[in-house]
């Protein structure tokens, strides 16, 4: 149960980019709450990248703006510098990347950061890395990038698979949204959406995503929360 409700919707967005400012405001506009996963050592760094043949801005928010930008939502860790963790042999370096990021973000956010999203594409997590994080850091849950297209809860919070990746599976996002809204069940159901805010700039899909937010929001039988609220039952 999610604070007395069987159904919950949560969002998770990576990298701490300046597009998060617009996205956080959209979530707040519709009474939705999200988790933003940040690389603290890269904060304030200017840059760009190419996605689907389009060069887009990939500038990170400034450290002094973290609290104001994400204050209505949740800050979570994403490693200091965005390495592929399974490729790191030294356990101490995995711990350093995750725990130092978590501690730095806790200071910037003004509360203890408890969540984490694995960085990188492809196979970006495994049991070894998950066990190290569970044993040596203060992280309480970890999100992967593997879409399940399912609303079922999972027992392993250190390798939790989301429902859908908004950018690569936009059509599925709406189809699953309609399915979730019509779902009637006594079993808990979670609709978990993730992505990167900069991806909305590739083909200017901000308007389309806002349509989804309008569709999914404001339902009395759904709890809208951050990842920590949904997974840990913790509210700030």
In this prediction, residue 225 carries a pLDDT of: 98
The helix (run of H) or strand (run of E) holding residue 189 is strand 189-195
At 185, the pLDDT band (50, 70, 90 cuts) reads: confident
In this prediction, residue 235 carries a pLDDT of: 77
Which pair of tokens denotes residue 155? 């027992």
In this prediction, residue 234 carries a pLDDT of: 80
Beta bridge partners of 51: 54
Domain limits of the chain?
7-232
Which of 33-37, 39-43, 158-162, 231-235 comes out lowest in average pLDDT? 231-235
> Please, are residues 179 and 217 in contact by the beta-carbon 8 Å criterion?
no
pLDDT digits (tens, 9 = 90+) for 94-149: 999 999 999 999 999 999 999 999 999 999 999 999 999 999 999 999 999 999 99
CA distance 68 to 89: 37
Which pair of tokens denotes residue 74? 């949740």
The pLDDT mean for the chain works out to 96
At 163, the pLDDT band (50, 70, 90 cuts) reads: very high
Secondary structure (H, E, C), 155-176: CCHHHECCCEECCCCHHHHHHH
At 1, the pLDDT band (50, 70, 90 cuts) reads: confident
Mean pLDDT on 192-202: 98
Just give the CATH number of 7-232.
3.20.20.370
């Amino acid at each position: 149960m999610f604070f007395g409700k069987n159904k919950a919707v949560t969002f998770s967005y990576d990298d701490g980019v300046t597009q998060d400012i617009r996205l956080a405001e959209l979530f707040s506009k519709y009474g939705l709450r999200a988790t933003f996963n940040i690389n603290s050592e890269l904060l304030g760094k200017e840059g760009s990248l190419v996605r689907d043949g389009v060069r887009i801005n990939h500038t990170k928010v400034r450290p002094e703006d973290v609290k104001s930008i994400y204050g209505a939502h949740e800050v979570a860790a994403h490693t200091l510098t965005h390495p592929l963790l399974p490729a790191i042999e030294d356990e101490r370096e995995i711990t350093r990347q995750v725990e130092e990021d978590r501690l730095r973000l806790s200071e910037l956010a003004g509360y203890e950061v408890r969540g984490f999203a694995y960085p990188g594409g492809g196979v970006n997590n495994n049991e070894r890395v998950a066990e190290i994080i569970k044993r040596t850091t203060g992280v309480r849950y970890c999100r992967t990038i593997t879409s399940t297209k399912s609303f079922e809860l999972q027992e392993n919070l250190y390798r939790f698979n989301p429902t859908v990746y908004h950018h690569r599976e936009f059509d599925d996002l709406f189809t699953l949204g309609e399915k979730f809204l019509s779902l009637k069940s006594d079993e808990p159901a979670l609709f978990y959406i993730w992505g990167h805010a900069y991806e909305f700039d590739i083909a200017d899909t901000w308007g389309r995503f806002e349509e989804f937010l309008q569709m999914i929001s404001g339902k009395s039988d759904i709890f809208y929360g951050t990842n920590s609220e949904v997974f840990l039952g913790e509210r700030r």
